[in-house]
Structure 1
């Protein structure tokens, strides 16, 4: 039985997931400053691993079905790429702040479009290539490499966006034969296995209040993914994906008022160009999918 389609509900669910993920990033920054990035990411993936194991145990076929993958090596690569991307992004939150990190990271849909050809064999037309180039001009405006001393940290969220784009493309590739539940299971387990020795090596005492924030971080991660999954279940991805950009203004408010970050004038200008290019790319993808379905 298919889920009834409700685009309006899907939009609100996507905006809600963006708000949850923005709050999660704020908590991640606080905990990384209070302790260290590797310990925070490790505990987060421990919770993630337990969560996916419980889901798999309740699903038809149980844990055995969840472990069966047609692409085991690629699933491992997905998990490693994601956990490395999360570590880099949290490091960027501490070094650059939430606002500038997200302003650069939002270019990942453009990277997905650019890499969809070599990774998935999809055709990228000249209009989308032009949008990709315009989007990268926006990234350069944000980074502002010509103003004084350029910080290498400014490249960290871009590398993180590149890794997240690869993670998304590999997820689409394994979806040709693996169910979403299988990919979800492998992501959680691989991330926990990779991070455990690193996190234990960097383990340090955490204050009781920070343990409460840690619990909030873990629960918000599960809630954010649940809201996103529900959004995609009730509406077409191409119709609601643009609303994921709401995460940028929400996280900017958190950065300004909770972490006393500053907003350089070039950041919103560059971010607006990147978002516009990303929305155009999503629109062209939707047009192409309709042409393919109709022809």
Structure 2
């Protein structure tokens, strides 16, 4: 892997976070008018079409996709991700992109904590201390006991926890299924789940909103395609810290487009949580280098 490829992969990943932040903005806009389950369902129809087309590009690839080593876990991953997206998009409507993303960004710390009992990973007191600092940051954002706590703030926290479980399950199935298989089942199992939920909430859309819905879905496909390309070019350890840029871009979209306000406690809490998450990634990378 050449340094040029590494730099290109990091650049593509940075653009990917911008695409996903834009997707968050479109999701919030549409979910403000239409049922969240409907928006997610249509988005997943595009996603499923995309993974099917990817699988059909090579002879025999579809047959390989349909025979994963962990079929039950792959299906559960897809179901869990749909539920997480439903919850998180709804939190965008109630809390705004700034506050919701500031809380949701705690998911890497949850993945680190869950990886110990589920994956059998081991790490020292420094990373446990970082996890504690990160969750202190979440508490600063939530401000429990100060008379201003909103129960809606629990929605992105629940979404982060669901996404953390999804992330740990993804690492687990990677022991027997490659990334292409997991990506395929994320789309297919997710589309089936989203349809079973969303079909009961069908609402007619205006012509202009169908355009926004199409843009949202295409952004999702573009973002996932770019992310795949980034991981082909660069090491995962180099790309993980870049994912935190989505918090910055989403906050910018929230403030510029929707008039969200960045409160001091949210800024401080998000900085602590993000910093702690970046530290755990750095420590994991150092541990891998030194065995």
Please report the TM-score for the alignment, with normalisation by the length of structure 1.
0.95
Please give the residue correspondences for 1:107-256 in structure 2 after superposition, counting only pairs within 5 Å: 107-256=106-255
Question: How far off is 1:6 after superposition?
Answer: 2.2
Question: How far off is 1:186 after superposition?
Answer: 1.0
Match of 1:95? Answer: 94
Match of 2:51? Answer: 52
Quote the Cα distance in structure 2 between the aligned partners of 1:263 and 1:218: 28
Quote the Cα distance in structure 2 between the aligned partners of 1:4 and 1:182: 28
Question: How far off is 1:240 after superposition?
Answer: 2.4
Match of 2:71? Answer: 72
How many correspondences in the alignment?
Answer: 291
Q: Is there any run of 5+ residues in structure 1 with no aligned partner, and where? A: none
DSSP 3-state at the match of 1:123: coil
1:232-255 Cα offsets, whole Å, 9 max, x none, are: 211111122211111111111111
Quote the Cα distance in structure 2 between the aligned partners of 1:218 and 1:271: 28
DSSP 3-state at the match of 1:58: coil
Q: Is there any run of 5+ residues in structure 2 with no aligned partner, and where? A: none
Quote the Cα distance in structure 1 between the aligned partners of 2:249 and 2:180: 30
- Check whether the contact 1:5–1:235 (CA below 8 A) recurs between aligned residues: no
Question: How far off is 1:62 after superposition?
Answer: 3.1
Question: How far off is 1:146 after superposition?
Answer: 2.4
Question: How far off is 1:60 after superposition?
Answer: 4.0
Q: CA 1:209–1:3 in structure 2 vs 1: closer, same or farther (change >3 Å)?
A: farther
Q: CA 1:287–1:60 in structure 2 vs 1: closer, same or farther (change >3 Å)?
A: farther
- Check whether the contact 1:113–1:124 (CA below 8 A) recurs between aligned residues: no
1:178-215 Cα offsets, whole Å, 9 max, x none, are: 12111111111111111113211100111111101111
Please report the TM-score for the alignment, with normalisation by the length of structure 2.
0.97
**2:19 equivalent to 1:24:** no
1:47-82 Cα offsets, whole Å, 9 max, x none, are: 111111111111341322111011111111101110
